[in-house]
Chains A and B, each alone.
Chain A
Amino acid sequence: MNVIEIVNLTTSYGKRRGIENVSFNIKQGEIFGFIGPNGAGKSTTIRTLLGFLFPNNGMAKVFGLDCVSESKVIKRDIGYLPSEVNYYNDMKVKDLFAYSAKFYKKDCLLRITELCDTFQLDVNRKINDLSLGNKKKTAIVQALLHEPKLLIFDEPTSGLDPLMQNILFDVLRKENKKGTTIFFSSHILSEVQQLCHRVAIIKDGNILNVGSIDELAASKCVKVKIGLKNPNQAEKITLTSATDYKTKDGYFQFMYSGNANELIAMLSRFDIQNLFIEDLSLEEVFMHYYEKEGE
């Protein structure tokens, strides 16, 4: 079952670009990464899902319900962490949690206590007195306190120290094991690779690719690194399915997405000292997509 279903979604607002024809699904129980640089359209997609923005075209559904007409119902089971945390500065943390919990008509006190212990959060402090990291922790607890079925986290680790990032990832994995679906938007590839099952790459408001982390890392492309006895021969290596030729650290290297026999036939003509054929890291896949689309 798809928890999130987005089909040809286009949202634009003002002078900002927004998103164009975005399509992807997130299955129940998945941790889905959404990666792209700042301004790529990640927050616009999320804001459309939450009903802050209205789509110009296409369709977005959460729990099978339309994001515009059924927004109120959908939000009962969503925990949202915005990229930029803004709360009522004159409120104490505990008052914010109490205010937030009342919207769900649930007794969340025990859950709040547990989460505050986990994230080492002092609930008696005023929001205005909190550091950026503590504000982020407040926002995380606020998003989790009603035990939602879907978590939408937009750049959740910004402002958190590495120790707290690990605690957050542990909490998210625990929630995921209980069946919670997680939509994890970030521009930090390593954390997406560490946590997510599948990932969508977005650039300039368009989805470039959607796939599992392993698929994407292994997809279509491998990185070929060759240590040639005579480095001057490098320019003679030309393959139709190779891109990004360069020499780095004494190795001639390129991305290859073609037939293995063709690669072996070409390389056999040269005197090779070392040969490495590697799967791409997610970061390299990401950069590969970006460079390819940018051309």
Chain B
Amino acid sequence: MNIFLHELKRNKNAFIIWTIATILLIFSQMAVFSSFVKDSIASQQALLTKYPAALIEIFGISKIDMSNVLGYFAVKIFPLVALIGSIYTMLLATGILSKEHGEKTIEFLLSKPISRKSVVSSKLLSVIFYTVLYNLMLFLSTYGMLEIYKNEPYNLSVFALLWVSLLLLNIAFASIGFLISVFVSKTKTNYPLSIGIIIGSYVISVIAATSQTIEKLKYLSLFSYFDAAEIIVSGNIAPIYLALFALFIIVPILLSYLFFNKKRITV
């Protein structure tokens, strides 16, 4: 609990900044919804011509009614929020253990009467806490915005389901970031590495969506498991994606425990 509270304090400012910045971004996009709807059909068609075919496929733009506030949010804003949220949670997780190595405070920590397993658990819990809180803050803010800007009823449970899938995506990236933090102690290395993984994953999902011949590539990208259009259309998250999310969350966490337990601490 001591380490958990310490981590909450240490990462508080970053959490506040990322949360406010993301909410402002969502707000800036939602604010133009009314004017977008006024010319809904023309806008949607214009948008379709602007978007590359791959993106239309990825985000299922053609399947969604963007004159509905939820559809607009899911197509125009949600993918960006997913990207930003993934970057935040992965950077948070990547720094959580590697900072102790980089700042050489790991000796202080491990000289205390606490098992390595507890160190991992406490730090992991703080990452999950902030990931959940970040998503909750975004969910509530966006819900407020949808209520303000809605022009017709929307499906609240589908909206909630979208955030569940986003939360799973963020936790999966956090989990991978946590594993990186066990191995890479230099922040100069692990931050670019984390952003590289996210961007790489995003690019793979885009490439995989462009052709059916390389469709299976999508299983390499967490972003492919996160299909906002599919959730809106079907009203649920595909079980295969849930299973893959679980795999990408559980395996890195288990490996983190395993490797940190065996890690030789040299400062």
A residues sitting closer than 8 Å to B (CB atoms) are 13-14, 47, 50-54, 71-76, 78, 80, 82, 84, 86-90, 99-100, 102-104, 142
Assess whether A87 is in contact with B105, with CB atoms less than 8 Å apart.
Answer: yes
Assess whether B113 is in contact with A86, with CB atoms less than 8 Å apart.
Answer: no
Find residues 240-267 in chain B having any chain A CB closer than 8 Å to their own CB.
262, 264-267
Residue of B nearest to A86 (CB): B104
Find residues 103-139 in chain B having any chain A CB closer than 8 Å to their own CB.
103-105, 107-108, 110-115
Number of interface residues of B (CB under 8 A): 19
CB contacts (< 8 Å) of A75 on chain B: these are 111-114
Known pairs A53-B266, A71-B115; A89 contacts B104 (CB<8 A): no
State whether the Cβ of B216 lies closer than 8 Å to any Cβ in chain A.
no
State whether the Cβ of B63 lies closer than 8 Å to any Cβ in chain A.
no
Assess whether B265 is in contact with A103, with CB atoms less than 8 Å apart.
Answer: no
Among A14, A47, A54, residue most surrounded by chain B Cβ atoms (within 10 Å): A47
Known contacts A71-B115, A82-B267, then 11 further A-B pairs from the complex at CB < 8 Å, ordered by chain A residue: A52-B265, A53-B265, A54-B262, A74-B113, A78-B111, A80-B111, A82-B111, A86-B267, A88-B10, A100-B112, A102-B2
For residue A183, give the distance in angstroms from its CB to the closest CB of chain B: 13
For residue B8, give the distance in angstroms from its CB to the closest CB of chain A: 13
Q: How far is the CA of A14 from the CA of B264 in the complex (A)?
A: 10
Assess whether A76 is in contact with B113, with CB atoms less than 8 Å apart.
Answer: yes
CB contacts (< 8 Å) of A53 on chain B: these are 264-266
CB contacts (< 8 Å) of A142 on chain B: these are 108
Residue in A52, A99, A103 whose CB lies within 8 Å of B113: A103
CB contacts (< 8 Å) of B266 on chain A: these are 13-14, 47, 52-53
Please report whether the interface of chain B is mostly helix, strand, loop or mixed according to DSSP. loop
CB contacts (< 8 Å) of A104 on chain B: these are 112-113
Residue in B105, B110, B112, B262 whose CB lies within 8 Å of A88: B105
Q: How far is the CA of A4 from the CA of B108 in the complex (A)?
A: 21
23 sample A-B contacts, Cβ–Cβ < 8 Å, listed by A number: A47-B265, A50-B110, A52-B264, A53-B265, A53-B266, A54-B264, A73-B113, A74-B113, A75-B112, A75-B113, A75-B114, A82-B108, A82-B111, A84-B267, A86-B107, A87-B105, A87-B108, A88-B103, A99-B2, A103-B112, A103-B114, A104-B112, A104-B113
Q: How far is the CA of A73 from the CA of B114 in the complex (A)?
A: 8
Assess whether B114 is in contact with A52, with CB atoms less than 8 Å apart.
Answer: no
CB contacts (< 8 Å) of B114 on chain A: these are 72, 75, 103
Among A14, A54, A80, A99, residue most surrounded by chain B Cβ atoms (within 10 Å): A99
Find residues 65-120 in chain B having any chain A CB closer than 8 Å to their own CB.
103-105, 107-108, 110-115
Assess whether A13 is in contact with B264, with CB atoms less than 8 Å apart.
Answer: yes
Assess whether A89 is in contact with B103, with CB atoms less than 8 Å apart.
Answer: yes
For residue B61, give the distance in angstroms from its CB to the closest CB of chain A: 45
CB contacts (< 8 Å) of B264 on chain A: these are 13, 52-54
CB contacts (< 8 Å) of B104 on chain A: these are 84, 86
Q: How far is the CA of A82 from the CA of B105 in the complex (A)?
A: 11
Residue of A nearest to B265 (CB): A52
Q: How far is the CA of A64 from the CA of B102 in the complex (A)?
A: 33
For residue A69, give the distance in angstroms from its CB to the closest CB of chain B: 11
Q: How far is the CA of A80 from the CA of B266 in the complex (A)?
A: 15
Residue of B nearest to A44 (CB): B266
CB contacts (< 8 Å) of B10 on chain A: these are 88, 90
CB contacts (< 8 Å) of B113 on chain A: these are 72-76, 103-104
For residue B65, give the distance in angstroms from its CB to the closest CB of chain A: 49
Residue of A nearest to B109 (CB): A103
CB contacts (< 8 Å) of A47 on chain B: these are 265-266
CB contacts (< 8 Å) of A71 on chain B: these are 115
CB contacts (< 8 Å) of A102 on chain B: these are 2
Assess whether B110 is in contact with A86, with CB atoms less than 8 Å apart.
Answer: no
Assess whether B103 is in contact with A50, with CB atoms less than 8 Å apart.
Answer: no
Q: How far is the CA of A162 from the CA of B111 in the complex (A)?
A: 28
Q: How far is the CA of A99 from the CA of B6 in the complex (A)?
A: 8
Assess whether B103 is in contact with A86, with CB atoms less than 8 Å apart.
Answer: yes
Q: How far is the CA of A253 from the CA of B72 in the complex (A)?
A: 95
CB contacts (< 8 Å) of B103 on chain A: these are 86, 88-89
Assess whether A52 is in contact with B105, with CB atoms less than 8 Å apart.
Answer: no
Q: How far is the CA of A53 from the CA of B108 in the complex (A)?
A: 14
Q: How far is the CA of A129 from the CA of B266 in the complex (A)?
A: 25
Q: How far is the CA of A100 from the CA of B105 in the complex (A)?
A: 12
Assess whether A51 is in contact with B110, with CB atoms less than 8 Å apart.
Answer: yes
For residue A62, give the distance in angstroms from its CB to the closest CB of chain B: 12
Among B107, B111, B113, B264, residue most surrounded by chain A Cβ atoms (within 10 Å): B111
CB contacts (< 8 Å) of B105 on chain A: these are 86-88
Assess whether B107 is in contact with A52, with CB atoms less than 8 Å apart.
Answer: yes
Q: How far is the CA of A80 from the CA of B114 in the complex (A)?
A: 14
Q: How far is the CA of A238 from the CA of B112 in the complex (A)?
A: 57
CB contacts (< 8 Å) of A74 on chain B: these are 113
Residue in B2, B107, B262 whose CB lies within 8 Å of A103: B2
CB contacts (< 8 Å) of A84 on chain B: these are 104, 267
Q: How far is the CA of A88 from the CA of B100 in the complex (A)?
A: 9
